[in-house]
């Protein structure tokens, strides 16, 4: 069955309305929040539809899937974001497709990214890679991400040992619950970790990537600058 993305613009409009309402409740400017289209398990046509609807940030979870899609979409001026767990043995391939990595969760991964990027630094191939630290604010064993108490050490590693990485902020996945207070508490924790890192390291970390289709309105209330939307834009995932 071929996916029909004809309703994507309407779905995006509803999502933007919800972002605007949540931002208003938090006394924020809704323009501070950008939509990342999560196209996991959707075909290249989904990425093209998102771009035509006005979305230029494309989030993918798997390296091979992103490589296959980008090969068919070189004509699109989009930014490819790695938002899934990145294994160190796939770093080189990941850097062929992604413009940013939003799931940096370990010192070893940071050093591996920096090492591969440094190999081509003298050739002027690319500026430092924008990265976000993924923090496991919910403490759930099934989730990836550095634990909150390790965020400072990881940030220091990036700043002190990884000149080819450009630390922009933090990312998290909300807890698996329907309790809105618990969800908001997790998002607030990420914001507070960011604030402490900025104060301790004397840097600016403007980006907070938090919130998905089921909870992005809560994330916006707690300071999210990027919401990662898949199902609410494209419908149920297929198999790509």
The fraction of the chain above a pLDDT of 70, given in percent, is 95
For residue 125, the model assigns a pLDDT of 63
What's the whole-number mean pLDDT along residues 228-238? 88
Dist CA 165 CA 152 (whole Å): 16
Report long-range pairs for 196-200 (Cβ below 8 Å, ≥24 apart).
196/152, 197/151, 197/152, 197/155, 197/170, 200/152
Q: Which tens digits make up the pLDDT trace of 86-139?
A: 999 999 999 999 999 999 999 999 999 999 999 876 555 678 999 999 999 988
Non-local CB neighbours of 168 within 8 Å, separated by 6+ positions: 100, 130, 131, 132, 205, 206, 207
Domains of the chain: 8-233 (3.20.20.10)
Nearest-angstrom CA–CA distance, 103 and 134: 5
pLDDT at 19 over 70: yes
pTM for the whole structure: 0.94
């Amino acid at each position: 069955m071929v996916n029909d993305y004809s309703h994507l613009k309407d779905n995006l409009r509803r999502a933007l309305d919800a972002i605007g309402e949540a931002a208003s409740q938090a006394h924020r400017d809704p323009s501070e929040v950008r939509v990342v289209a999560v196209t996991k398990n959707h075909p290249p046509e989904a990425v093209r539809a998102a771009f035509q609807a006005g979305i230029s940030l494309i989030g993918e979870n798997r390296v091979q899937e992103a490589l296959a899609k980008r090969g068919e979409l070189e004509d699109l001026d989009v930014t490819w974001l790695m938002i899934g767990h990145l294994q160190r043995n796939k770093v080189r391939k990941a850097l062929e497709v992604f413009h940013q990595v939003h799931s940096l969760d370990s010192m070893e991964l940071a050093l591996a990214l920096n090492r591969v990027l440094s190999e081509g630094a003298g050739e002027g191939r690319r500026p430092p890679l924008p990265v976000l630290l993924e923090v496991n604010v919910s403490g759930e064993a099934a989730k990836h991400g550095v634990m909150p108490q390790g965020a400072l050490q990881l940030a220091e590693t990036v700043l002190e040992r990884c000149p080819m990485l450009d630390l922009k902020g933090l990312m998290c996945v909300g807890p698996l619950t329907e309790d809105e207070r618990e969800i908001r508490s997790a998002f607030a924790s990420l914001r507070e970790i960011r604030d402490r890192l900025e104060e301790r390291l004397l840097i600016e970390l403007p980006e907070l990537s938090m919130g998905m289709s089921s909870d992005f309105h809560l994330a916006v209330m707690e300071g999210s600058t990027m919401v990662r939307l898949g199902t609410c834009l494209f419908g149920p995932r297929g198999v790509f």
